[in-house]
Structure 1
Amino acid sequence: MYMKSYHNLIKGLSISAFSMTAALMGCSVETDVTRLKKPSQPVPVEMVSLTQEQITRTTTQPATVLPYYQTEIRAKVSGYVKEVKADIGDYVKQGTILAVIDVPELQKQRQIIEARITQSESEEKRAEAGIQLSHANVQSAEARLLQAKSELNRTKALVAAAEAEFARTSDLVQRRSLESRVLDEVRKKRDSELANQQTMSSAINSASADVVVARAKQKSAEADLQVAKSRTSIARHQLEELDVLLNYASIKAPFSGMITGRTVNPGDLVREGNEVGKGEPLFEIDQIEKVRVEIPVPEVDAAFISRGDVVKLSFPSFPAEEELKVAVTRFTGKLDPHTRTMLVEAEVQNPSRKLIPGMFGQATISLGSPAAANMLPARAIRFESGKAFVYAVTDDIVSIVPVTTGMDNGNSIEILSGLQPGQKVVDAHLKRFKTGEKVAPIH
């Protein structure tokens, strides 16, 4: 009986506990259903409007400092390094000797060419003397020719006189006024004068030939002089060429700058014709009193770049200093096919050599004059899969509106299409809204 009472008690307690649990669960379910049926409250949001502003288009890009000029110095002659006069970190002036190469074989060649010049100059003097001698021979031959012609004229006169005397004597002999033997004497005299005339004619021919020979020898002497002068000129040009090579034995700075690399030591053998890219240069020198700042400008801004555009430069190495203001000096005018950027350069005076080649900075370029643009705070624009959109609000109802963006000045972004000036949109907010959702603007 005791056990039966115990079982009845347990059964009663279980039924009571079940009833109480069911009652509690019923209340909870009813509460949740009631809560779900209550309408959600509009989300409070801050609003911003699309406004039109006068702004200057800018682009901010990384910038790199480069030397104004940078060159690798290589040897033009072969030889052993005799002396090294400069090292890395040295600032040198244009024309400063950096190293000296020993080239004794070139010195010997110079001595040989100098001896050849001396020989050629002696040949010139000999040729000049030959010209003077031949000129004298010409004058002598011409004098003999004139003398022979004069003798011929005199002989002709004597022949004429002898002919006249012979004719007169012959006439007298025919008249028997003179003996015939007198005519024989006159005839002999006439014949003698004729013979002298023939001799003078032959002398004239000989003298004329001597003049021709003397003049030919004079021309030959003049040609010998020209040959000697040509040989001297060639030797002198060879000496000048050799002096140029000897000048290359002194390695000089092509411009004023800082030595940033040295690979040569005294006693090293250097060879002529060490091409760029084939072997290390003897020295590297950078001109840094004026530097170039290279700025890669993306395709979207490249078309607006002009010479003289203002460039503001800042460098992490000098955070406390004011931005440098310079101007765009030049640009390539084409896009790099790999990066789709255009290279822009600005020149910066660097007398204190504070800007070091390779230094990194940031450049902001002002592109043209100020112009009106529809601007919206950057925080109000959302981006998804590379596309921009905003949450436009009309009568407190949200609409998702795709927009086309333009320039970005870091704080605001230009809206090219999608919104009208004055139209309100949701400012920065963590919630993702849906079209048709109601919001509560905060004024």
Structure 2
Amino acid sequence: MNVYNLLRPGLQVALIAGLGFLFSQCGNSSAEKSQMDEVPVEEDIRYETIRVAASRPASELNLPGELESYYETDLYPRVSSYVKALHVDIGDQVKKGQVLAELEAPELTANLTEAYSKVKAAEAVYGASKGTFLRVLRTSRTLGAISPVDLDASRTKAISDSLAIVAANAHYNSVQQLVSYLKITAPFTGVITDRRLSPGAFVGPGGQNGVPMLKIKQLDRLRLRIAVPEAYLGDIRRGNPVQFSVRSFPRQTFTGRINRIANSVRPETRSELVEIDFQNKGGQLKPGMFASVRLPVSTTNEGSLYVPKSAIISTIDRTFVLKVVDGKAVRVTVQKGDESAGQTQVFGNLKPGDLIFKTATDDLADQAKVKTQLVSQ
């Protein structure tokens, strides 16, 4: 008799259901495996790159600059002393020669009195030796009254005593000069921008680790320093007017004149330092302000290189773009020029058609291997 037929009908149904479930699970596992095989593997990172474009240079350069006071200095005491009084504070307008602070050093005052007394003592000694010499000289006119040796000795004594007066006066003047240092005066007309010490503080060589007492800056005349790219140095002339603006007064345009040219191109940036003088009447502008300078230049037929602003990275050390050479990202130092419509003019070891990163990054090391994808600007 067949075993299957001997099973009860309920057991037959359970057996068939179990076999059906087993086959269905095997089918599901095969389907899931097939779906996993169809999931695409994540591709390698590809950096967007562009070609360096060439176009005609602008007739006006927009260059960044910084305003500086024409004169500025830190005021230090020249002698060891104590601060007796301060007559100025931060923001005070001062004139040339004005007393800003007074110091006290009792030992210097005592030295001055001692030096003065030595001058008077030397004068008294010289007066006596000079009188003796004159009497000996008159007596020597009588034949045989005074020996030649005595006459020469009195003359030598008078000369020696006169030279002692000269030495005493020199010492007195030097001490007097030191005493004059106890008054700190303004070297030029300007504004006090910082005060570090207070009355009672010890100052001088080694005092307070060389901290300046006051800082003074000239405000009625400012310097504006800019770095002009080498390609435009032929358009720079002393006396040329230059317009600039600052963020504090966005609706105003200021005008200065080129006054100094460094006459030396910096090899790391291929630019030359140019100083513009500005008569800051009323003190509207302040030293330390950043300015945007519009420098007129002549348009030539030569092409200039332009890249997106995003392709340039500026660090403390240098400004550079990432150039692709043989599948590697190479940092190329550049100097920025004109900026317009999101494009920046650059000068450096680049030529039209070079492949560079559209958006540069400082995370990649120099000479790092990369995969790129050429896109349009």
Equivalent residue number for residue 311 of structure 1:
242
Equivalent residue number for residue 294 of structure 1:
225
Q: Distance in 1 between matches of 2:175 and 2:278?
A: 41
Question: Do residues 260 (structure 1) and 204 (structure 2) align?
Answer: no
Q: Distance in 2 between matches of 1:413 and 1:238?
A: 66
Question: Do residues 364 (structure 1) and 366 (structure 2) align?
Answer: no
Give the superposition deviation at 1:344.
1.4
Give the superposition deviation at 1:373.
7.4
Which residues of 2 match residues 301-380 of structure 1 at below 5 A?
Answer: 301-302=232-233, 304-321=235-252, 323-367=253-297
- Give the aligned residue type for 1:238: H
Question: Do residues 76 (structure 1) and 7 (structure 2) align?
Answer: no
Which residues of 2 match residues 136-147 of structure 1 at below 5 A?
Answer: 136-140=138-142, 142=143
Q: Distance in 2 between matches of 1:413 and 1:68?
A: 31
Instruction: Say if 1:81 and 1:270, in contact at 8 Å, map to a contact too.
Output: yes
Residue 334 of structure 1 aligns to a residue in which SS?
A: strand
Q: Deviations over 1:48-74 (max 9, x none)?
A: xxx99xx97432111111111110110
Q: Which runs of 5+ in 1 are unaligned?
A: 1-50, 143-206, 388-406, 419-431, 434-443
Q: Which of structures 1 and 2 has the bigger CA Rg?
A: 1
Pair 298,126 (structure 1): closer, same or farther in 2 beyond 3 Å:
same
Instruction: Say if 1:75 and 1:274, in contact at 8 Å, map to a contact too.
Output: no
Give the superposition deviation at 1:288.
0.9
Pair 372,338 (structure 1): closer, same or farther in 2 beyond 3 Å:
closer
- Give the aligned residue type for 1:136: R
Q: By percentage of residues, which structure has more helix?
A: 1
Which residues of 2 match residues 144-159 of structure 1 at below 5 A?
Answer: none
Residue 249 of structure 2 aligns to a residue in which SS?
A: coil
Instruction: Say if 2:78 and 2:181, in contact at 8 Å, map to a contact too.
Output: yes
Residue 288 of structure 1 aligns to a residue in which SS?
A: coil
Which residues of 2 match residues 77-226 of structure 1 at below 5 A?
Answer: 77-140=79-142, 142=143, 207=144, 210-211=145-146, 213=147, 215-226=148-159
Instruction: Say if 1:263 and 1:281, in contact at 8 Å, map to a contact too.
Output: yes
Instruction: Say if 1:67 and 1:291, in contact at 8 Å, map to a contact too.
Output: yes
Q: By percentage of residues, which structure has more strand?
A: 2
- Give the aligned residue type for 1:120: A
Instruction: Say if 2:86 and 2:102, in contact at 8 Å, map to a contact too.
Output: yes
Q: Distance in 1 between matches of 2:72 and 2:344?
A: 40
Instruction: Say if 1:89 and 1:259, in contact at 8 Å, map to a contact too.
Output: yes
Residue 296 of structure 2 aligns to a residue in which SS?
A: strand
Give the superposition deviation at 1:339.
4.0
Give the superposition deviation at 1:98.
1.1
Equivalent residue number for residue 216 of structure 2:
285
Instruction: Say if 2:220 and 2:281, in contact at 8 Å, map to a contact too.
Output: yes
Q: Distance in 2 between matches of 1:301 and 1:108?
A: 64
Instruction: Say if 1:68 and 1:287, in contact at 8 Å, map to a contact too.
Output: yes
Give the superposition deviation at 1:109.
0.8
Instruction: Say if 1:335 and 1:342, in contact at 8 Å, map to a contact too.
Output: yes
Question: Do residues 242 (structure 1) and 175 (structure 2) align?
Answer: yes
Instruction: Say if 2:75 and 2:214, in contact at 8 Å, map to a contact too.
Output: yes
Q: Distance in 1 between matches of 2:205 and 2:164?
A: 29
Q: Distance in 2 between matches of 1:287 and 1:385?
A: 43
Residue 216 of structure 1 aligns to a residue in which SS?
A: helix
Q: Deviations over 1:205-259 (max 9, x none)?
A: xx3xx55x1x332222221111111111111111111111111110111111110
Equivalent residue number for residue 20 of structure 2:
none
Q: Distance in 1 between matches of 2:164 and 2:322?
A: 82
Q: Deviations over 1:312-350 (max 9, x none)?
A: 1111211122x2222211122223444443221101001
Q: Which runs of 5+ in 2 are unaligned?
A: 1-54, 309-320, 325-336, 346-350, 353-374
Q: Deviations over 1:365-402 (max 9, x none)?
A: 113x5667789x999xxxx9879xxxxxxxxxxxxxxx
Equivalent residue number for residue 334 of structure 2:
none
Pair 413,343 (structure 1): closer, same or farther in 2 beyond 3 Å:
closer
TM-score by length of 1: 0.55
Q: Distance in 1 between matches of 2:271 and 2:344?
A: 21
Instruction: Say if 1:77 and 1:272, in contact at 8 Å, map to a contact too.
Output: yes
Give the superposition deviation at 1:281.
0.8
Give the superposition deviation at 1:136.
2.5
Instruction: Say if 2:204 and 2:210, in contact at 8 Å, map to a contact too.
Output: no
Q: Deviations over 1:378-428 (max 9, x none)?
A: 99xxxx9879xxxxxxxxxxxxxxxxxxx85847999xx99xxxxxxxxxx
Q: Deviations over 1:67-104 (max 9, x none)?
A: 11110110101111111111110010011111111011
Q: Distance in 2 between matches of 1:272 and 1:408?
A: 49
